[in-house]
């Protein structure tokens, strides 16, 4: 786990190569801007992720492809909701696109471009605001396992998860990352019908616990099992999206 003052190409390369588990960049988004985005979101209606799969419930504003997966492919229902999500973000009335700002931060030092990924030429969603007040179960994220073939038009060689914290609770809300990647035996620890695993799946392997601060960005290797602890005393709201390193050398995002 590294703390840096910016997303340098070395930090991103370290993550892609599996040399580090996460990079945190505190204060990368000015507090006033976080407050502005948060203010716009606070009066908006968040929706729950699919409640069967995601329990305890996690609220989100915007669209995630994980809720639109059918037989290892993107379900048809995804595309109209990408459009609706885009409209909902526009209706917030901000004079900028918060996800475009995040992509700029990520691309400041990267030799290739940072762009929203496409599938069949269509742009995927650019991201969500997530509110896991009851936490996230221990889980991993890996498009190569969740989808058959390539999720994006350009194949990926590494995957990252990006979070930018707009609001953090008084206590709790820590992100925990374990030095453990999925193997078939882990399925014995799977929670029924859930995206998550019992904590026994990680045993006593090395872990890092991160207590996010407002304006901080965290880029992690989501192949490592990770979790978010329940929050107390305040909302935990973060901008989030997935990102891949494509074979072209570009960074491609999706929500």
Ligand X SMILES: O=C(O)CCC(=O)C(=O)O
Interface residues toward ligand X, by CB under 6 A: 132, 136, 141, 161, 163, 175, 218, 222, 226, 228, 238, 240
- Contact between 15 and 160 (Cβ < 8 Å): yes
**Min dist. Cβ of residue 6 to ligand X (A):** 19
Q: Which does 29 bind (CB under 5 to 8 A by kind): ligand X, Fe ion, none?
A: none
Q: Which is nearer to ligand X, 114 or 218 (CB)?
A: 218
Query: Closest approach of Cβ 132 to Fe ion, in Å?
Result: 10
Partner in contact with 163, chosen from Fe ion, ligand X, none, beta carbon below 5 to 8 Å by kind: ligand X
DSSP state letter for 96: S
Taking CB within 5 to 8 Å according to partner kind, which of ligand X, Fe ion, none is near residue 240? ligand X
Give, for 173, the enclosing helix (H) or strand (E).
none
Q: Which of 14, 77, 6, 56 is nearest to 245 (CA)?
A: 14
Least spacing, CB of residue 222 vs Fe ion, in Å: 5
User: Closer to ligand X at the Cβ: 81 or 224?
Assistant: 224
Give the shortest CB-218-to-ligand X separation in angstroms. Answer: 6
In angstroms, give the least distance from the CB of 179 to ligand X: 16
Calpha distance 31→144 (Å, rounded)? 36
Nearer to ligand X, 175 or 253 (CB): 175
- Alpha-carbon distance of 237 to 59, in angstroms, equals 9
Q: Is residue 174 close enough to count as binding Fe ion by CB under 5 A?
A: no
**Residue 238, contacted partner among Fe ion, ligand X, none, CB below 5-8 A by kind:** ligand X
Task: Characterize 171-186 residue by residue with b for buried, 16 or more Cβ atoms within 10 angstroms of its Cβ, and e for exposed.
Answer: ebbbbbbbebebeeeb
* Cβ contacts of 171 within 8 Å, gap of 6 or more: 231, 232, 233
**Partner in contact with 126, chosen from Fe ion, ligand X, none, beta carbon below 5 to 8 Å by kind:** none
Residue 38 in 3-state DSSP?
A: helix
* Closer by beta carbon to Fe ion, 62 or else 79: 62
Q: Contact 212/227 with Cβ under 8 angstroms?
A: no
SS3 category, 225: strand
CB 137 to ligand X: min, Å: 9
Nearer to ligand X, 41 or 228 (CB): 228
76 or 170: whose CB is closer to ligand X? 170
CB 117 within 8 A of CB 153: yes
Chain Cα centroid distance, residue 66: 11
Asked if 207 and 97 touch (Cβ cutoff 8 Å), the reply is: no
Distance between CA atoms of residues 40 and 59, nearest Å:
16
Of residues 111 and 117, the one with the C-beta less far from ligand X: 117
Residues 134-153 as x/- pattern, contact with Fe ion by CB under 5 A? -------x------------
Residues forming contacts to Fe ion in the complex (CB under 5 A) are 141
């Amino acid at each position: 786990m590294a703390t840096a003052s910016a997303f340098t190409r070395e930090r991103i390369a370290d993550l892609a190569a599996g040399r580090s588990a996460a990079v945190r960049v505190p204060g990368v988004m000015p507090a006033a801007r976080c407050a502005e985005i948060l203010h716009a979101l606070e009066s908006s209606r968040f929706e729950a992720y699919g409640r069967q799969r995601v329990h305890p419930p996690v609220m989100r504003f915007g669209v995630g492809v994980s809720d639109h997966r059918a037989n290892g492919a993107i379900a048809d229902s995804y595309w109209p909701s990408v459009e609706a999500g885009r409209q909902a973000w526009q209706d917030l009335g901000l004079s900028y696109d918060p996800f475009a700002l995040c992509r700029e931060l990520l691309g400041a030092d990267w030799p290739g471009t940072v762009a929203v990924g496409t599938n069949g030429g269509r742009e995927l969603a650019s991201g969500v605001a997530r509110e896991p007040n009851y936490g996230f179960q221990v889980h991993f994220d890996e498009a190569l396992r969740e989808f058959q073939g390539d999720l994006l038009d350009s194949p990926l060689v590494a995957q990252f998860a990006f979070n930018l914290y707009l609001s953090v609770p008084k206590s709790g809300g820590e992100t925990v990352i374990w030095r453990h990647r999925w193997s078939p035996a882990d399925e014995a620890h799977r929670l029924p019908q859930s995206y998550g695993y019992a904590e026994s799946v990680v045993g006593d392997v090395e872990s890092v616990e991160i207590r996010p601060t407002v304006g901080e960005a965290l880029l992690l290797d989501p192949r490592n099992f990770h979790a978010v602890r329940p929050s107390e005393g305040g909302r935990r709201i973060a901008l989030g999206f997935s990102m891949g390193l494509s074979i072209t050398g570009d960074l491609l995002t999706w929500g």
